[in-house]
């Protein structure tokens, strides 16, 4: 295990990695920190207490700030809203990130992101404005997922599940990398390394986003705003952020709108259209060539394959009998609609019938790190319901399709 050396209270924080950039009448001091270092916490506290700055910016968004400062933030989540708005994958990604942070905290005896929290809270205590300059995690992952193929999204989903279940100690080389990198990059670094789209969205875009937010702070001040801004960011963002802050000339408001835009998939959902044409066409061909017996048999086989395996996935997740029924009914239909998922339907029924309690939410981060916890925690079981029902339906689509081909051309 790598030892973390705590610096004495009188910290010369200027010995930490930093950049000073003057622009638009504002001097920005970018302080690069390690997210798992007590020394970084002391450096940030010393910089804020120095009295040199009239404003502090931190590499956080509103959601992450709330999770760091409000221990009950997770318990206020509306799980039904998460399912209805199609944010299940994003919620799971946040849980995976939280699980990774918890492992680090237990292993290193320091809360990941403690230096960001200290910068924000100390600035507030001194009456200084605090600017949250990072892009919302949900937006970052939405943009990343939109740029991936179906197979890429499937690998991400599997990786998220594994990250939540992993309870092994973080390796020393990972910790050293994290000291010079970024929390999101380290949490999902394997995928980012394999996918240029993920790296671009998770790391490079956020450098530009945070630089633009700082430029916006300067532009929106109208002459009476901050003149000395301390920006606390992970060391991995320091060089990219400094470059964009020096060089970018586009309008900040327009640049932020571009970086927050969720790109729509271009063109028609060809896979869904082809699948619908194949299934409906197969039924029609069966009725035409073989009469009612063959056509009815094709429909029954499709329903049993998709509905049966979708319901099986829900049952394996410990779903309520009515959730299993909902999975069985929806699974033959949802593959034919690009915006619906059988896991969402069964998950909504499960959440309505077995509403999670305050205790479920508070224990969630701990429970998802054990196999048993996925079935005993109601929030985790809803997520498991979503993933296993969707997986069962997907397997059923291929099984049912192959059976239909065999029936029609056998």
- Backbone φ, ψ for residue 319 (5° rounding): -65, 155
At 55-85, the pLDDT tens digits run 999 999 888 888 778 767 766 778 888 888 8
Q: How many CA atoms lie within 13 A of 274 on its CB side?
A: 6
Please indicate, yes or no, if residue 8 is contained in any of the structural domains.
no
pTM of the model: 0.70
pLDDT value at position 141?
78
Q: 225, 260, 295: which is the final residue of a domain?
A: 260
Q: Dump pLDDT digits (tens) for 336-348.
A: 887 788 999 999 9
Q: Which residues contact 231 (CB under 8 A, 6 or more apart)?
A: 28, 29, 30, 31, 56, 57, 58, 59, 133, 210, 214, 241
What are the residues whose beta carbons fall under 8 Å from the beta carbon of 377, sequence distance 6 or more? 356, 360, 363, 364, 367, 368
Rounded to whole angstroms, the Cα distance separating 302 from 311 reads: 14
Question: 23 has which bridge partners?
Answer: 26
Instruction: With respect to residue 3, please indicate whether it lies within any of the assigned structural domains.
Output: no
CA angle 107, 112, 118 (to 5 degrees): 130
Lookup: tokens for 380: 């985790």
Backbone angles phi, psi at 54, to 5 degrees: -105, 5
Same domain, 157 and 188: yes
3-state SS track over 207-267: HHHHHHHHHHHHHCCCCCCCCEEEEEEEHHHHHHHHHHHHHCCCCHHHHHHHHHCCCCCCC
Q: Is residue 5 included in any domain, yes or no?
A: no
* Residue 7 lies inside a defined structural domain of this protein: no
Q: What is the pLDDT of residue 1?
A: 37
Is 212 inside a domain boundary? yes
Low-confidence ranges of the chain (pLDDT < 50): 1-9
**pLDDT value of position 257:** 92
Same domain, 185 and 277: no
* Domain co-membership, 253 together with 276: no
Q: What is the DSSP letter of 203?
A: I
The sheet with strand 26-33 has its strands ordered as 18-23, 26-33, 228-234, 55-58, 130-132
Q: Is residue 6 part of a domain?
A: no
- pLDDT value for 46: 92
What pLDDT is stored for residue 8 in this prediction?
Answer: 40
Instruction: Report the C-alpha gap between 137 and 97 in whole angstroms.
Output: 10
Cα 101 from chain centroid (whole Å): 14
**Number of domains into which the chain is organized:** 2
224 and 160 share one domain: yes
Identify whether residues 251 and 322 lie together within a single domain. Answer: no
Question: How many beta carbons lie within 10 A of that of residue 249, not counting itself?
Answer: 6
Cα–Cα dist 211/209, whole Å: 5
Q: Which domain holds residue 144?
A: 13-260
């Amino acid at each position: 295990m790598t030892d973390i050396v705590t610096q004495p209270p009188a910290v010369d924080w200027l010995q930490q990695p930093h950049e000073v950039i003057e622009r638009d009448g504002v001097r920005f001091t970018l302080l690069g920190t390690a997210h798992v270092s007590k020394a970084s916490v002391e450096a940030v506290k010393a910089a804020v207490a120095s009295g040199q700055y009239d404003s502090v910016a931190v590499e956080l968004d509103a959601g992450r700030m709330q999770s760091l400062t409000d221990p009950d933030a997770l318990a206020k989540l509306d799980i039904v809203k998460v399912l209805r708005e199609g944010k299940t994958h994003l919620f799971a990604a946040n849980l995976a990130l939280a699980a990774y942070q918890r492992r680090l905290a237990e292993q290193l005896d320091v809360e990941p992101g403690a230096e960001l929290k200290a910068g924000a809270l100390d600035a507030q205590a001194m009456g200084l404005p605090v600017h949250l300059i990072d892009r919302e995690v949900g937006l970052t992952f939405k943009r990343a997922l939109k740029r991936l193929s179906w197979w890429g999204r499937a690998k991400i989903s599997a990786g998220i599940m594994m990250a939540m279940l992993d309870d092994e100690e973080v390796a020393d080389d990972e910790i050293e990398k994290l000291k010079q990198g970024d929390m999101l990059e380290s949490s999902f670094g394997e995928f980012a390394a394999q996918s240029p789209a993920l790296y671009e969205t998770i790391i490079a875009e956020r450098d530009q986003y945070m630089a633009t937010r700082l430029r916006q702070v300067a532009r929106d001040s109208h002459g009476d705003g901050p003149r000395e801004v301390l920006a606390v960011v992970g060391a991995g963002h320091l060089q990219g952020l400094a470059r964009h802050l020096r060089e970018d000339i586009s309008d900040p408001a327009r640049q932020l709108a571009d970086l927050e835009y969720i790109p729509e998939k271009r063109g028609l959902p060809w896979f869904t259209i082809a699948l619908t044409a194949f299934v409906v066409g197969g039924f029609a061909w069966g009725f035409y060539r073989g009469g009612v017996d063959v056509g009815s048999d094709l429909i029954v086989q499709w329903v049993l394959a998709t509905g049966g395996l979708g319901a099986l996935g829900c049952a394996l997740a410990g779903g309520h009998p009515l959730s299993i029924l909902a999975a069985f009914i929806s699974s033959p239909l949802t593959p034919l609609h690009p915006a619906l998922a059988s896991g969402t339907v069964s998950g909504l029924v499960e959440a309505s019938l077995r509403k999670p309690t305050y205790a479920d939410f508070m224990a969630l981060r701990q429970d998802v790190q054990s196999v048993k916890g996925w079935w005993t925690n109601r929030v985790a079981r809803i997520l498991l319901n979503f993933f296993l029902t969707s997986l069962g339906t997907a397997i059923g689509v291929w099984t049912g399709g192959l059976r239909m081909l065999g029936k029609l051309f056998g």
